[in-house]
Structures are given as structure tokens and as C-alpha cells.
Amino acid sequence: MCQKFLHYGTPVPLTDEKVREFLMDSNQMAAKGLRVLAMAIGTSLDDLVYVGMVGIIDPERPQVALAVSQLKAGGVQVKMITGDAEKTAKAIATRLKIYDNTDLSISGEDLEHMNAAELDAAIAKATIFYRVSPIHKLTIVKALQTQGHIVSMTGDGVNDAVALKAADIGIAMGQTGTDVCKEAADMILVKDDFYTIM
């Protein structure tokens, strides 16, 4: 949406080459597991000047990788459902050993364009669902249940409440979780530590 970018304090025209450069920077940050936010200034949406981007890290808790490993060793399928971008989700899921290069990752938008058979096959194979909305979360939970799985879902926000309620075991975060999320859940993790699910 920007026509210009800030170059040493002065707005200059934003070229296609600069856009590619900024997107490459964004992709490199996302590949490290950072959440990337772009920033712009202006008096209206028609007059925006790109000023830069910031990468925010939301580190996983120390014992999450161990919990994922133990759950998988016990025959539990672990899937990541996130609103994050694909590169960010893959970087985090790779660190936690939820995802490797042979696994499938699916966007919420992709889910919307699948028929019932494609949806069932994709949801069974995928380990990462990224850029998902609350309705996508519910679709994933319901599809897994239809396939005969007992589904546990963790969440902390208002947007997780419907999927938490639909899951066989809804798990809310006690410290960061919203009241709506906690009301919808079957279990509340008092210390927000995924490891305590064990």
C-alpha cells in the first residue's frame, strides 16, 4: 500500500527492487521463527510511507520440545495450528520436532478451497496449519474427530473458544488465557506450561 519508503529520514519513491529487498528481509526474519510486523506512517491509507519492520520472538517454553517428543513416542499426533505466517510456523515447528521437510503444511485459505475428500486427506497428513481463523480451527477439529481421533486442543484467546469447546479435551492457558477461553475448556493449565499436559 506504500508509494514511498523512509531513506535516512527522507521519503523516497518505493521501487519494485526495494519491495523485493524488503520482502527478502521479511522472509529471512520469518525463517528464524520471528513474527514480522511492517510499519508505515501517513495521513491516510492513500499516502503511506514504509518506515521499516520489526521481528518479534515469542520463544517456546523450555520443556515443550521434550513434551512433544514424549507425546509422539506415546502415539499421539501433534499438529500446530497458528495464525502465524508459514515460514515462522515452520521454523518454530521444526525446532520442536513437530515438522520436517517431508511433512505437509496448509494455510487456512487452502482449506477453504478443498472439497470434503481433499480436506480429510490433507488434515490427516498435515502437521502445520498456518494463517488460520477460528472457523478453520473448528474445521480441523471436526475433521479429525470424524476420522476417529480423540482430539485435544490448546488455546488462549477468544478466537480459540469454539474449537476448544468442540474438541474432546479443550485445554486453556490459565495465565494468558482469556475468560471466554477458560470457560470453553475442559482443563486449564495453571502455569501455561505445555509440558503439564503430560
Higher model confidence: residue 93 or residue 198? 93
Q: Are residues 50 and 6 in contact, defined by beta-carbon separation less than 8 angstroms? A: yes
pLDDT in tens, 131-153: 999 999 999 999 999 999 999 99
Burial of 185 (0-12, 13-18, 19+ CB in 10 A): buried
- pLDDT tens digit string along 25-76? 998 888 888 889 999 999 998 889 999 999 988 777 778 888 888 889 989 9
Confidence at residue 182, expressed as pLDDT on a 0 to 100 scale: 87
Q: How far apart are CA 185 and CA 163, in angstroms?
A: 9
Q: Which domains does the chain have, with CATH numbers?
A: 4-56 (no CATH), 64-197 (3.40.50.1000)
106, 126 contact by CB (below 8 A): yes
Residue 83: pLDDT band by 50, 70, 90 thresholds?
Answer: confident
- Residue 156: pLDDT over 90: no
User: Is residue 21 very low, low, confident or very high in pLDDT (cuts 50, 70, 90)?
Assistant: very high
Q: How confident is the model at residue 181, as a pLDDT? A: 86
